[in-house]
Chain A
Amino acid sequence: MKKELGIFILLVVLCTVTATINPRFLSAANLTNMANVIGLFGVFSLGLGLVIITSGIDLSVGSMCALTGVVLAMALTEWHWAWPLAALAVLAIPMLLGWAHGALITRMKMQPFIVTLCGLLLYRGVARFIAGDSTKGFGEGASFDTLRQIASGKLMGLPMPFVILLVTGSILWVVLHRSVYGRYLFAVGRNEEAARFSGINTNLVITVAYVVAGLLTGVSGIMIAFYTNSVAPSNHGNFYELYGIAAAVLGGCSLRGGEGSIIGIIIGTALLQVLQNLVNLLGIPSSLNFAVMGAVVLIGALADQWVRMKASRRVTS
């Protein structure tokens, strides 16, 4: 709880500073746009957070986004599938891939880093191959307007991605912090051996986390594809896994597993997007974009470590 508070204060400070220097930060257009991108990135970051809580990692998120984007665009515009079918396929594919990751990690005892690194390369390659390495767009097709509205429309003035983030966030909050599965997830992340000795089906718990992460990547994938409205398979979704990992870590997840919260991950995502916005609004050269993000994540992690060391020193002395 303290951790979330710390990063929340950082978020508020950054917002205040940016708003003071450039009042456009608080304009309706900017806030709406920001809510939109927070939604786009937040949904898959939540999935990645669950995986990180199992003490795993998923590096394949960006490539999965590219793959789902390509498949969605082609299914709707070239293969002329009905939109519900296309959407279903685009959710099923990453879930299936997530299950495969989970199976390799739990059954074959492979390291999550290796499995999902191979995924990162593999799915990117497949996406480019399917698309013939050419950019796929959605055009003006009316047959899937409903899907477009769901993925990129507005509800009561709020951009749909943000609404979907709030909904998935609420569901996952209950699952992670109040349900039996959530407790198992933390237990497995902390000490898989002891969890197994307590009769928990640790393989299932871990695999489900990767499947849920796949599903959320699929949801994000659809929304991001409609947001960009065209999918260039060679760079669509590049580095998105790193945004997710950064958000989760900023939000209090430990890469050692067994630690993290939904609210933290959402605040972490928001912080990263505010930083990007701040770079634009404050006239910082956009080439410094990643540098700013890297520095802030580093400072955040450093501050957290410092607080921890102080706390443990207080306990021992």
Chain B
Amino acid sequence: MAPLLEMRGISKRFPGVIALDQVSLAVGRGEVLALCGENGAGKSTLMKILGGVYQPEEGELFVDGKPVKISGVTDSMALGIAFIHQELNNLDNLDIAANIFLGREPRNRLGLIDRRKIHADAEPLLRRLGLDMPSTTPLGELSLARQQLVEVAKALSLDAKVIIMDEPTSSLTLAETERLLEVIAELKGQGVSIIYISHRLAEVTHCADRVEVLRDGKNAGGLAKNEIDHDSIVAKMVGREINYARSSPPAAEAKGHLEVRSARSGRFPAQCLSFDAGRGEILGFAGLVGAGRSEIMKAMVGLDPDGSAEVSLGGERLKIRHSRDAISHGIFLVPEDRRKEGLITDMSVRENITLPDLRSYASQGLLSRTRETRAAQEQIGKLAIKTPGPEAMVRNLSGGNQQKVAIGKWLAMSPKVLILDEPTRGIDIGAKAEIYALMRALAADGAVVIVVSSDMEELLHISHRIAVMHEGRITGFLDHSACTEQNVMQLAVGRSVSAAIPPLS
């Protein structure tokens, strides 16, 4: 029997790059196909061809064995292909039903929206996905995970046969991720095919029937159900072995260089927490999404107007009221949302890198372009940022290279404390390894490195010590030897662990 959907010999060129080179892909009915590959491997381009956003130069498409042509988004929809983007395209001022039927609203005799019908049609879809809320709920009141399920409902309402999910779990909590994976299993049972794109290999291993790996715009091979495991996917993705050695603990004398006391965020005003970190230490912050980790970090560097923290560095008590106070003491934050907070994407690499320390590139208030360019070039070289040059717009770089710029702007100022919030979200494995190496080098140079991450594997891999947070407070610290997935999870859900060091009082 012909597969439900097949792509054969697809090639796509962009000016200067071959994004896809003779790529083939097939999905069977009710099959969950995981599409893996580093950023820039061509996954998104391939999916955009399927979604009708791009037209390939070469190659054929078949649905149910019959050749088809997709020359626009509507063609793709008509063939039963639904695309759930990484960034949700929801209108959170409208209710659930209005979002599901956006652009296809049934009308009554007066030409107005038939409200009774859209709600009647929406309810069974929500029940099918286990969303236990009325379809009149404004979307803005839903968690991100539930908003995503609304997108799935929209796909189902379109009678989708194939649903493409691009990094669907990148901002979900662990429980929400599990729920999504259950939904995927249910959809599969109902005969819906899923193309699942994720960097989180644990999920892929868990839910995929088959894995197809792309590398540099070419097929790098597939893995059948019984062959799927973490290492073999990684090996196909990078074409080389990646060394996942744990960070070794720093020297013991390094303790207590950074002292944070009574840190409080606007989000959890009743909770306050304290922690220490030593020079050369990489301190991880684990916890479920919404545990208040990012908020505490922002409070620490003066970016939470309703938060506060007493911070001492090397025994000296610092006065931090604005981010510029923290910056002047060498405490820098690489924020979670690099496009909104970390970078000005419509400015050049040079302008982004020099921005926090702009005055030192100026004499009498006038900027020296030469000095700026030199500084930018230094970071481009040091961090191996792939960019046409220092004048390239940051928005035109890939996610991993954008993140390197977001880090590079602080490295140019020799950090004493560098806080990285989700430093590798949405970044490919190669760039991840480089960022880890960078963090280790910084720590080895005597800086304090703090990492907030929702990627457990990453935290266990990079941290010397882990602080675990639950609902705004620290539930325990795990020393290097006690850092296990089990222990972190127990603390993250608010249970106590005997191997953990209790929070400072």
Contacts and interface: CB of A to CB of B under 8 A. Distances in A.
Interface in B323-344: 323-324, 326-328, 333, 335, 340-344
A191 B347 CA distance: 10
Interface stretch (B212-220, B309-317, B361-369): B361-369
A186 B324 contact: no
Contacts of A201: 322, 324
Contacts of B365: 179-181
A315 B15 CA distance: 8
A78 to B, nearest CB: 42
B366 A194 contact: no
A49 B324 CA distance: 27
B377 interface: no
B366 A174 contact: yes
Given A180-B362, A194-B340, A200 B367 contact: no
Contacts of B344: 187, 190-191, 194-195
Nearest to A257: B346
Interface string A155-183: 00000000000000000001000111101
Interface residues of A, number: 22
A30 to B, nearest CB: 39
A194 B353 CA distance: 12
Contacts of A181: 365
A154 B409 CA distance: 50
B268 to A, nearest CB: 21
Contact of B340 (A174, A191, A199): A191
A198 interface: yes
Contacts of A198: 323, 327, 355-356, 409
Interface string B289-305: 00000000000000100
A193 interface: yes
B356 A199 contact: yes
Interface in A175-231: 178-181, 183-184, 186-187, 190-191, 193-201
Interface string A86-108: 00000000000000000000000
B341 A180 contact: no
Nearest to B55: A317
Contacts of A179: 362, 365-367
Contacts of B327: 198-199
B88 interface: no
A191 B358 contact: no
Q: In which size bucket is the chain B interface?
A: 20 to 34
A201 to B, nearest CB: 6
A258 interface: yes
Contacts of B343: 191, 194
B85 interface: no
A184 B351 CA distance: 10
Nearest to B360: A180
A186 B355 CA distance: 11
B322 A190 contact: no
A186 B347 contact: yes
A195 B328 CA distance: 15
Contact of B303 (A190, A197, A258): A197
Contacts of A174: 366
B366 A200 contact: no
Contacts of B303: 196-197
Contacts of B358: 180, 183-184
A181 B341 CA distance: 20
B4 to A, nearest CB: 29
Contacts of A178: 366-367
A183 B362 CA distance: 11
A190 B362 CA distance: 21
B351 A197 contact: no
Contact of B355 (A187, A193, A315): A187
A201 B333 CA distance: 16
B346 A191 contact: yes
A201 B356 CA distance: 11
B398 interface: no
B69 interface: no
Interface string A282-304: 00000000000000000000000
Of A179, A193, A195, A198, most buried by chain B (CB within 10 Å of CB) is A198
Contacts of A187: 344, 347, 351, 355
Contact of A194 (B322, B324, B342): B342
A201 B327 CA distance: 12
Contacts of A195: 344, 355
Contacts of A186: 347
Residue from the set B344, B351, B365, B367 with the largest chain A CB neighbour count within 10 Å: B344
B173 interface: no
Nearest to B333: A197
Contact of B367 (A180, A194, A197): A180
B274 interface: no
A196 B302 CA distance: 10
B324 A200 contact: yes
Contact of A199 (B324, B341, B347, B367): B324
Nearest to A177: B367
Contacts of B371: none
B323 A197 contact: yes
A183 B372 CA distance: 12
B474 to A, nearest CB: 24
27 contacts: A178-B367, A179-B365, A180-B359, A181-B365, A183-B351, A183-B367, A186-B347, A187-B355, A190-B346, A191-B343, A191-B346, A194-B340, A194-B341, A194-B342, A195-B344, A195-B355, A197-B303, A197-B342, A198-B323, A199-B322, A199-B323, A199-B356, A200-B324, A200-B355, A200-B356, A201-B324, A258-B346
Given A195-B344, A196-B323, A197-B341, 17 more contacts: A174-B366, A178-B366, A178-B367, A179-B367, A180-B362, A180-B365, A181-B365, A183-B358, A187-B344, A187-B347, A187-B351, A187-B355, A191-B345, A194-B341, A198-B323, A200-B355, A201-B324
**9 interchain residue pairs of minimum CB distance:** A199-B327, A199-B324, A198-B356, A191-B344, A198-B355, A197-B341, A190-B344, A199-B323, A179-B365
